[in-house]
A and B are shown apart, each in its own frame.
Chain A
Amino acid sequence: MQRDLPAVEATALVKDFGETRAVDGISLVVPTGAIYGVLGPNGAGKTTTLRMLLGIIDPSSGSRRLLGRERPIEAAHEVGYLPEERGLYPAMTAREAIAFMGALRGLPIADGRRRADGLLAAHGLGDWARKPIRTLSKGMAQTVQLLGTLVHKPRLIVLDEPFSGLDAINQARLEALIRGEAAAGATILFSTHVIAHAERLCERIAIIAGGRLAFEGLVDEARSRLRPVVRLRTRASDGPWRAAIPPAARLDAGEYVFALPEGGPEPLLKALIDGGAGIETLAIERPGLHDAFVAIAGEAAAAAMGQGQAS
């Protein structure tokens, strides 16, 4: 595949489950070598979208290309996939499970076993290599499945909610691993309902809410949809300077919080100084992805994401 071709392309994907439309016309492009996040609350249609992209299920309408192939299964040897609902054969040893997952994707079983030994040792699971999966903790089994996803050195790695069920330390390790794979040239496509992960990792994102694509593009583009946020604390409680504060500003713990006016910071500063506001603190902040998400997907979706994070 040529470097300039996108790793994943989806055009107007629709998926109906009976009467329910789970995915409604989603189009996205994942550039080769990118770390791409699909954001959305639970039930937004992220998993269904990923399953369609991978060819596990067929779309009701629309088309997709995976690593340049119209039929995603034809690209299977170059793809690694970690499903949201983790699953391994409980009686298999960790080493065999990794080698088996590699073999499914075309890696000779002997190479898979050799690589599995190395990967398990590198992730502190060397002593567990020959133990059955059923004897491993949930976190360990999750790591084994992740290693099985990567053992055949895929060019495209698709991770569905990879951070769920992991503690903070393992989340940080996974973030490092994702960055490492991307640095080695792999394309990463992952779904999450935790905005912070996407904010830290992704260059591009797709925001899905209610089965529809609310935004697709660079993270900076998403943020730039919002004006910078001004936080202002003044000594004077009233005066002519108040005319410079937009009517939509809210007072939060003694601070005015409002979007930076179109004219920029200079006219605002001048008005405040000339009007005798007595600036105590003034901060102009770039909006976070969360704010962008709220603006793009709406308060309800953001609240659902918050609940997801809490759980």
Chain B
Amino acid sequence: MRELIRAAFVIGRRDFAATVFSKAFLLFLLGPLFPVLMGVLFGAIGGRVAAAAEQPMVAVVADTRDYEALTGARERLAEAFAGAPLVRLRRIQPEPDAERQRAALLAPGGPAVLGVLDGGLGRPRYTGSIQPGADTAAQLRLIIEEARRSQASDAQRGAPLELSIAARSTGAMASHRALTAQAGQMILFLLTILLAGMLLSQLIEEKSSKVIEVLAAAVPIDSIFLGKLMAMLLMSLIGIVVWTGAGAAAIGLWSDRGVGGIAPPAVGWPAFLALCFLYFAMSYLLLGSVFLAIGAQASTVREVQTLSMPVTMAQVVIFALAATAIGSPDSPAALAAAAFPLSSPYVMIARAAELPQLWPHATALAWQLAWVLLILRIGAGLFRRSVLNSGPRRSFWKRRGA
């Protein structure tokens, strides 16, 4: 066992150094940041476009009192329906000839307004066009009614709504936590699918440069597999630290509520983040060991490329299986997906978001680790038997020795 780990360390150290101290690794680190960068760029452009295409303006020909009542009403409605596009208002000082003023405002060359609202709050009248997709008339109607209500006496308005704010309701919390679970699962899946696929081609270098015979003669095949897996996991974690840092910075910069907008997971943030790390490691090791075992059978890059499609599809199926667990972590389907080793990390991270117990995670991690070792063992055995030993096809290993 000690020799197995020592040899795995030697293999892993070589692989890690060869990968991390290469120019390609810089590209590996920067690659996933490109979409973020593009998002920022397009966001800025979109923001400018949105600013240019702001909500239409309605000219309000009214005295100051009525106009203030209207703008106050508009602000209250905008607050109540956050994000809903509301018409903007612009006050125009009333002139003696209202009809002529209205015509002048709507004439070409006049101010860029959608229509004219005149007649004050007593006899409001709107003349102009209606913005497609947003019912300008309905909005104006609501604003006017709210403005009138604000001018009415307290007795006419009736008692205001009495608010008694409680902690989040169970229903709301469950729904928010389901979102956290989904987000956790999605991140775990994306990172695994992005990173574990690299393990398919991990033994190609050794085969093509014929180093594999030097390795196979010196150390157990299990060590080669374990070392490669660990080196790639470490490399992936470096990438994740960089990307997470960049992502957190981006969220902090561009989101009003930052990461605080996500509902806290049931186990709490510190435990959830620790479990995210552990379950990523496990999902990487589990899928990685399967990929390594499959990829080890391939002799050429072409074979690896051919293998990558069915392998990716299999991952998607596993993810779909895991997604059934969200919202009902104790259902038979969820428990079955938690027991199936390849979907287990995804299911368990969702569970951590939804249920507070920690002991199932200890059990799941032990279960997943056992499977990692088992798959590695099977993969190494398969490699020894099918690639090193016999068969008519496999390049120099399988040909009859001189």
Contact = CB atoms under 8 A, between A and B. Distances in A.
Interface of A: 16-18, 20, 22-23, 42-51, 54-58, 73, 76, 79, 81, 83-92, 100-101, 103-106, 109, 145, 161, 193
Interface stretch (B46-54, B207-215, B261-269): B207-215
B124 to A, nearest CB: 79
A81 B400 contact: no
Contacts of A91: 18, 22
The CB with the most chain A CB atoms within 10 A, among B214, B384, B398, B402, is that of B402
B40 to A, nearest CB: 35
Main secondary structure of the interface of B (DSSP, over half): helix
Interface of B: 6-7, 10-11, 13-14, 18, 22, 205-206, 209-220, 384, 388-392, 396, 398, 400-402
Given A22-B401, A44-B402, A46-B402, A87 B211 contact: yes
Contact of B402 (A17, A43, A56, A73): A43
B207 to A, nearest CB: 9
* Shortest 5 CB-CB contacts between residues of A and residues of B: A87-B210, A48-B401, A47-B401, A104-B218, A87-B211
B216 A56 contact: yes
B214 A83 contact: yes
A88 B213 CA distance: 10
Nearest to A83: B213
Nearest to A105: B218
Given A56-B388, A89-B205, A43 B215 contact: no
B209 A55 contact: no
Contacts of B6: 106
B140 to A, nearest CB: 71
A47 B205 CA distance: 22
A88 B11 CA distance: 14
B398 to A, nearest CB: 7
Contacts of A87: 206, 209-214
Contacts of B219: 73, 76, 104
Contacts of B210: 83, 85-87
A76 B209 contact: no
A310 B14 CA distance: 39
Contacts of B396: 85
Given A18-B392, A84-B402, A90 B214 contact: no
B218 A89 contact: no
A45 B401 contact: yes
Nearest to A40: B402
Most buried by A among B213, B219, B392: B213
A104 B214 contact: yes
B390 A18 contact: yes
Contacts of A49: 401
A209 to B, nearest CB: 13
16 contacts: A17-B398, A22-B401, A23-B401, A47-B402, A48-B401, A56-B213, A56-B388, A57-B388, A84-B402, A85-B210, A87-B209, A87-B211, A104-B7, A104-B214, A161-B402, A193-B402
